[in-house]
Chains A and B, each alone.
Chain A
Amino acid sequence: MKGYYHEATSIANASPGLHNVTTCGITCKVPAVSPAQSSTLWQQIKNFSTHIFDTKDWPPRWYCGSWSDFHGWLYILSDVLIWASYFAIPVILIIMLRKRPDLPFPKIVWLFVGFIVLCGLTHLIDAIIFWWPAYRLSAVIRFLTALVSAITVYALYKIVPSVLSLRSVEELEREIESRKLVEEKLAANEFLLLEAGRLGKVGGWEFDIKSQKVSWSKVVYDIHGLPHDHNLELDGAYSYYTPPFKNSIKTAVEECLNNGTSYDLELQIQTAGGAVIWVRTCGEAFYDEEGNIAKLRGVLMDIDKYKINEVSLYKSIEMVNQNNKQLKGFTHILSHNIRNHASNFALLTSMIDTSELSNHNAEHMEKLRIVSGGLNKTLDDLKDAIKIRESIIAAEALSIAEITNNVVAIMQSEILESRATIEKDFAEQTILFPKLYLESIIMNLISNAIKYKKADEDLKISLKTYKNINGQIVLECQDNGLGIDLQLHGQKIFGLYKTFHNHKNAHGVGLFLVKTQVESQGGIISVESTEGNGATFRINFN
C-alpha cells in the first residue's frame, strides 16, 4: 500500500495546489479539484457542514505523500502521546478543583481544562487522519480550539489585576505576624475582662435552643459555689433559685424564649454551699439569619452585698415612714383629746355673764379666760413642736413571761371582775423591745379583750410567742370576745378614736397606741376576726 504512494511522491511535490489534498496529485483516487472548491462561499459552508464526517474527498494520510514507516509512526505516536498528556492534565486539574474548592480563579482553570482537552483532540485527530481522513471534523475541532484559546487569553487578561493583587507569601507572613500581636492584645484584654468579672462577680451565660445546651463562664460557677467542671445537665433549669423567685425567673425566661423580651431581675439563689444570696440576672434573645430566636445570652451578677444594704436601707425608710405616721397620730391626740377639752373650756368661759357675778368672781372669771386663752395658745405651739420632733426609745432584751406577769398583777381586779382566764404559751422567751412599750402593748391587748368580751360568756385570752417561717418572733393574743367586722372596719381598726361598738368604755386609743409602739420598733401588727367569733392580734417583731 505504502509503496504505491512512495512512487507518487515526486508528482505530489510538484503539484502547485493550495490544499494538502491537491498535493496528492494524480495518483490520489480523488479528483485534484472537487466541485465544492469551485462553488460560492455559501455553498462551500453548506457543503462543509453537511459532510463533517465525510472522508471521500481525501485519501488517508498514509497515502498522501511519501511517508517512511519511521516518519509516519514518529508523527502518529508523538501525536497520541501529546493527546494522552493533554488529557491527563485536565483530569489532574479537575481532581484538584474538586478537592480544593477554595482555589483561586476556578473559572480560568475550567477554561484551561477545555482548552487543553481541545488541543489534545487536534493532535488525536491528526494521528487518526493517517487512516481516517476526516479533515472537516479536524477543522471543526481546530476551530473550537481556536475559539476556546482566544476566550482563555481574554479571560487571563481580565484577571491579571486580581492576580497581581494577590498577596505574596511575604505579605501573608507579615500579616500573620501582626495578627499574632493583635491576638496577644486580645488575650491580655480577655484576661483583664475575666479578672474584672471575677472581682466584680459578673459572669456570662448562654443557652443554645437547638442543642438545649447551657454554658456558663467561670464566674457564674463561682457565684453558684460550683466547681468549673460541674455537669449542668444534671441540674434542673431553675434549681438554684429559691422558691419565691423560681416562678419569676421561669416566666421571664419563657417570655424571652417566646417573644424575645429581654429581662433584668434581682433574685435570690441558694448556692451549692447552701448560702442564700442576691443576684442580678439579665437575659437577651439572639436571632439567627431567618429571624428566629436561636440563643439566649445574659449576665449573672452577685449583688448580695449591695442588695442587703438596699434592703436594710428600705427597712429604715419604712421605719421612718412609720415614725411619721406615729407623729401624725400624736397630732391627732393633741387635736382631739386635749384641744377638745381646752376648746370646751374656752367656750364655757365665754358663755359666763360676768355682770351677774360679784366683783371678786368676775375678776376670777376674767383670769380663767386668760388661762383658757393661754392653754389654747400653748397647745397650738405644742402642735407645731410635736409635728417635727420624734422620740427614740431604746430596746432591751425582755422576758415576755415576766412582763406578762407584771401586767396581769397590775390588772388583777379587772381580770377577776370579768372572770377572764389567761393562757400563756411562750415558745420564744426573750423579746428585744422597749420595756415601757411591751408592757403597754400587753396591757392594751388584755384590756381590749376585756372591754369587748361577750356578756354571756367567760373570757378566755391566749397569749403565745413563736417564730414564724421568716424567723421573726411573733406575739399572738387570741380571745373569744365579740370580734370585729373587718370587712367594714378593717382599714381603720388601728386608727385613733376608732370605736366599733357603742360601748361606754370604748375610747379608740388602745389599739392605736399598740400599733404606734409596734411600728416605732419596725414591727407589724395584724388582726384576724369575724364578728361574734373573737379576735386574734398578731405582732411580728422585727
Chain B
Amino acid sequence: MGKIKTACVIDDDEIYSYSVDWIIKTNELAEKILFFSNGKLAIDFFIENLNHPENLPDVVLLDINMPVLDGWQFMDEYVKLKTAIDKKIIFYMVSSTIDEDDYTKSRMYTEIVDFIVKPITISALTDIADKFE
C-alpha cells in the first residue's frame, strides 16, 4: 500500500474534512494532512512556503465552491506560483457539482489529474494513495 507524504484538503465543508481526515488517518494513507477552509488560506500558505517545498503537499483535494477564493481562483493563483515551486504537486477536484461546465473547465488545467464527484469513497482515497510508493 502506498503512502502520501503530505496530503492537503481545501474545502469549507467541516463534515467532509472531518471524514477525509478520519479515513486517511485510519487507513494510514498519508504521513501528514493539511486543512484549509478556503482557497485564500491555502494560497497564503503556499506563498509562505515557496522556499520550503518540503512543507508543501504532494496531493491536494480541492473543492470548487468556497468563500473568498473558490477552487478555480485558487488554481489561477497557483498556476502563477507554479514555476517558483520546486515540487510536483498533483490536484484532484472533489466537488458535489453537477455542472458540466465545471467538468470541462477542470480539463484545461494540466495540474488537475482527476475530477471526483462527491461523495468521495474510502476506495477512491486508497487509490490516490496507491499511486505513491
Residues of A within 8 A of B (CB): 328, 331-332, 334-336, 339-340, 342-344, 346-348, 350-351, 376, 383, 497, 499-500, 502, 506, 508
Contact present for A347 and B16 (CB under 8 Å): yes
Contact B119 A336 (CB under 8 A): no
Any A CB within 8 A of the CB of B127: no
B49 interface residue (CB < 8 Å to A): no
Residues of chain B within 8 A of A497, CB atoms compared: 65
Closest chain B residue, CB of each to CB of A346: B119
Interface stretch (choices B54-62, B75-83, B94-102, B105-113): B94-102
Is the CB of B128 closer than 8 A to any CB of chain A? no
Is chain B's interface secondary structure helix, strand, loop, or mixed overall?
Answer: loop
Residue B68 is within 8 A (CB to CB) of chain A in the complex: yes
CB distance from A355 to the nearest CB of B (A): 14
With A335-B96, A347-B119: A502-B23 Cβ-Cβ less than 8 Å: no
Nearest chain A residue, comparing its CB with the CB of B41 = A502
What's the Cα separation between A12 and B121 when bound, in Å?
A: 158
A344: chain B residues at CB < 8 Å are 13, 15-16, 19, 118-119
CA distance A348 to B20 in the complex (A): 10
B33 → chain A closest CB, angstroms? 16
Cβ of B67 and Cβ of A351 under 8 Å apart? Answer: no
Chain A contacts of B26 at CB under 8 A?
Answer: 351
In the complex, whether B89 has a CB less than 8 A from a CB of chain A is: no
Give Cα A58 to B22, complex, Å.
Answer: 156
B120 within 8 Å of A (CB atoms): yes
A-B contact pairs, 17 of them (CB 8 A): A331-B99, A336-B96, A343-B118, A344-B13, A344-B15, A344-B16, A344-B119, A347-B15, A347-B16, A347-B19, A347-B120, A350-B121, A350-B122, A351-B23, A376-B119, A383-B98, A497-B65
Residues of B within 8 A of A348 (CB): 15, 19
**Chain A nearest Cβ from B64, distance in angstroms:** 9
Tell me how far the C-beta of B113 lies from the nearest C-beta in chain A, rounded to whole angstroms. Answer: 21
Contact digits for B1-32, partner A, Cβ 8 Å, 1 yes 0 no: 00000000000010110010011001000000
A384 to chain B, nearest CB (A): 9
Selected contact of B118 from candidates A339, A351, A500, A508, CB within 8 Å: A339
**Min CB distance, B23 to chain A, in Å?**
7
> How distant is the Cα of A347 from the Cα of B16 in the complex, in angstroms?
8
**Given A344-B16, A351-B23, A499-B67, CB of A328 within 8 Å of CB of B99:** yes
User: What's the Cα separation between A383 and B117 when bound, in Å?
Assistant: 14
B119 CB contacts on chain A under 8 angstroms: 342-344, 346-347, 350, 376
Identify the closest chain A residue to B38 (Cβ).
Answer: A502
Q: Whole-angstrom distance between the alpha carbons of A500 and B96 in the complex?
A: 21
A336-B122 contact in complex given A344-B19, A351-B22, C-beta closer than 8 Å: no
Which residues of A have CB within 8 Å of B16? Answer: 340, 343-344, 347
Chain B interfacial residues counted at CB < 8 A:
19
Q: Within the assembled complex, what's the spacing in Å between the Cα atoms of A350 and B120? A: 10
Q: A344-B119, A376-B119 are in contact. Are A502 and B65 (CB under 8 A)?
A: no
Separation of A443 and B99 alpha carbons in the complex (Å): 29
Q: Which of B16, B68, B118 has the most CB of A within 10 A?
A: B118
B93 shortest CB reach to chain A, Å: 13
Q: Which residue of A lies closest to B118 (CB)?
A: A343
CB pair B15–A508 under 8 Å, yes or no, is no
CA distance A347 to B121 in the complex (A): 7
Contact call A339/B98, Cβ cutoff below 8 A: yes
Q: Nearest CB to that of B122 among chain A residues?
A: A350
What 4 pairs between A and B have smallest CB-CB spacing?
Answer: A343-B119, A343-B118, A339-B96, A346-B119
Q: Are A331 and B98 in contact (CB under 8 A)?
A: yes
**Residue pair B65, A336 in contact (C-beta under 8 Å):** yes
Q: How far is the CA of A508 from the CA of B67 in the complex (A)?
A: 9
12 more A-B residue pairs beyond the given contacts A332-B97, A332-B99, A334-B98, with a C-beta to C-beta distance below 8 A: A336-B65, A339-B96, A339-B98, A340-B16, A343-B118, A344-B15, A347-B121, A350-B119, A351-B22, A351-B26, A500-B67, A506-B67
- Do A335 and B67 form a contact, CB below 8 Å, given A347-B19, A376-B119? no
- How far does the alpha carbon of A334 sit from the alpha carbon of B99 in the complex, in Å? 10
Asked if B99 and A335 sit within 8 Å, CB to CB, the answer is yes
- With both beta carbons as reference points, the residue of chain A lying nearest to B20 in the complex is identified as A347
When distances are taken between beta carbons in the complex, the residues of chain A under 8 Å from B97 are 332, 335-336
* Distance, CA A376 to CA B98, complexed state (A): 13
CB distance from A172 to the nearest CB of B (A): 82
- The complex places the Cα of A328 from the Cα of B101 at a distance, in Å, of 11
Q: How far is A334 from B96 in the complex, measured between Cα atoms in Å? A: 9
| A335 to chain B: closest residue by CB | B98
- Flag if A351 contacts B19 (CB, 8 Å): yes
CA distance A21 to B41 in the complex (A): 143
Nearest A-chain residue to B102, judged by Cβ: A335
| Residues of the A chain whose Cβ atoms lie less than 8 Å from the Cβ of B120 | 343, 347
Q: Mark B111-133, 1 if CB is under 8 A from A, else 0.
A: 00000001111100000000000
**Whole-angstrom distance between the alpha carbons of A339 and B120 in the complex?**
12
Q: A506-B67, A508-B67 are in contact. Are A340 and B99 (CB under 8 A)?
A: no
| Shortest CB distance B56–A (Å) | 24
Report the Cα distance A80→B92, complex, angstroms: 129
